[in-house]
Amino acid sequence: MGLIEIEDIEVFAYHGCTESEKIIGGNFIVDISYKYNSAKAEENDDITLAVNYQDITNIAREEMRQTSNLIEHVCKRIFDKIKLKYNKNISYLKVTISKKNPPVGGFVKNVKFTKEENI
């Protein structure tokens, strides 16, 4: 069993409940971790036998382009799309979205939402 951790996928997007967030946008960070049986990929050095992290990253970027009010909602969309595509390959999935400098009245570095599941 192997663990892949994709850290700090930086995305500029338009998620939030306020009009200004939907017009001005903001910076987000997406982190994704997943476990899969990596033995064949390890032995054969063949990307077709791996759960390709470039594909996973592309899913995250694609879903982040679609505006949502809540980071919970966009996180679930990313999670569900990865799970649907790779449900026979992965045994664990964790997706975290961090919203940088959220408009909450005063300085807050990040607000994060995480969805994780053993599959």
Phi, psi of 92, rounded to the nearest 5 degrees:
-150, 140
Contacting residues for 110 by C-beta, under 8 A, at least 6 apart: 29, 98, 99, 100, 101, 102
**What per-residue confidence (pLDDT) applies to 105?**
86
Domains of the chain: 2-118 (3.30.1130.10)
Q: Say whether pLDDT at 10 is over 90.
A: yes
Query: How high does pLDDT run on average in the chain?
Result: 97
At 107, list the tokens.
């300085």
Q: Say whether pLDDT at 53 is over 90.
A: yes
pLDDT digits (tens, 9 = 90+) for 88-109: 899 999 999 999 999 888 899 9
